[in-house]
Chain A
Amino acid sequence: MTATDGDRLRRLEHARQGDPEASRSLVAALYPQVIRIVRSHLPVRTAEEDLAQEIFVKLFARLDQYQERSGVPFEHWVSRLAVRTCLDALRAERRRPELRWSDLSEEQSAWLEFMLVDESAPPDTAPASARELLEKLLAQLPPDDRLVISLMDLEEKSVKEVAQLTGWNIPLIKVRAFRARRKLRKLAETFKKENPNEKL
């Protein structure tokens, strides 16, 4: 056990006993990990800070359930809790936002064109525009499909890692990923057909 592990365990134990200073220190240590997950799986009409707060409140409520002996690293346990909470938030979203041509910026349209038109080169734009387009397309998918594609394609998680985070079995994840990619393609093609006058 390293000094950092020992320090973390001590902080965890104090937080379990209700020590506010240890709890604040735990929040500060885990915040970068939690906010990264939240930003990747954020429902459209939810503020990232609200969802992060919900995750931390759940974390403290369930802190007694975490056992170091079970072999699951604490950070992994937190990631799993964060992913499950984000999935619940995505499922609670009553309506998914409709994708409209007018919602796309010029750079996002260029990325969509690149994906749909053969022999086109990737546009030379800022990474943020590619990310925004993917988020808009992913927001059209059902929550479970969106989660799988976000984890695999945007966070580069392996199928095994996705299984550990979500609790789903490996064949189910593979099938979901396959179907989700097919839905994305159909979605992009339908979008193109519905906007034939736009530049594509």
Chain B
Amino acid sequence: MKNFDTKWQACAARARQGIPRDAQVPFGFATRVTERAARPGTTRVEFAWDRVLARLLAGAVTVLLVCAAVELPHFRDAQPLTPGIENAVAQLVWSL
């Protein structure tokens, strides 16, 4: 272990000589940064609210998907235009 550590340090010492020294600010970088910083950003409260809304939306979508999955097998059974109760009432009225 000690031998590895010593050799690691030797490698690190050589690596330190290879640290890139070029630190020129890229063209337009300062302008881009100041413009982005000047834009009104989201506050912490807005950020928290966004997260709560996103979770609520995800929850609502999940509930809808579950409801759809439960209802799907009975989709063909349902006859919304001719409900049974209406037929019964119509038959009763007709028979009178």
* Complexed CA–CA distance, A26 and B93 (Å): 87
| Chain B residue contacts of A60, Cβ below 8 A | 33-34, 37
With an 8 A cutoff between CB atoms, is A104 at the interface?
Answer: no
* Complexed CA–CA distance, A188 and B5 (Å): 12
With an 8 A cutoff between CB atoms, is A134 at the interface?
Answer: yes
Classify chain B: how many residues form its interface, as a range. Answer: 20 to 34
| Chain A residue contacts of B18, Cβ below 8 A | 126-131
* Complexed CA–CA distance, A41 and B9 (Å): 18
With an 8 A cutoff between CB atoms, is B38 at the interface?
Answer: yes
Contacting A20 at CB < 8 Å: which of B25, B29, B34? Answer: B34
With an 8 A cutoff between CB atoms, is B8 at the interface?
Answer: yes
| Chain B residue contacts of A20, Cβ below 8 A | 34, 38
With an 8 A cutoff between CB atoms, is B7 at the interface?
Answer: yes
* Pairwise interchain contact A57-B36, C-beta atoms closer than 8 A: yes
* Complexed CA–CA distance, A131 and B19 (Å): 8
* Pairwise interchain contact A127-B15, C-beta atoms closer than 8 A: yes
- In the complex, what residue of chain B is closest to A27 when comparing beta carbons? B30
Chain B nearest CB, measured from A62 CB (Å): 10
* Complexed CA–CA distance, A24 and B15 (Å): 32
* Pairwise interchain contact A31-B11, C-beta atoms closer than 8 A: no
| Chain A residue contacts of B19, Cβ below 8 A | 36, 39-40, 131, 154
With an 8 A cutoff between CB atoms, is B94 at the interface?
Answer: no
Chain A nearest CB, measured from B77 CB (Å): 45
- In the complex, what residue of chain A is closest to B23 when comparing beta carbons? A32
Interface segment out of the listed A66-74, A79-87, A88-96, A113-121: A113-121
With an 8 A cutoff between CB atoms, is A122 at the interface?
Answer: yes
* Pairwise interchain contact B26-A114, C-beta atoms closer than 8 A: no
Add 9 more A-B contacts to A27-B29, A153-B8, A185-B1 (CB < 8 A): A23-B34, A23-B37, A24-B31, A36-B19, A40-B19, A57-B36, A130-B15, A131-B15, A154-B16
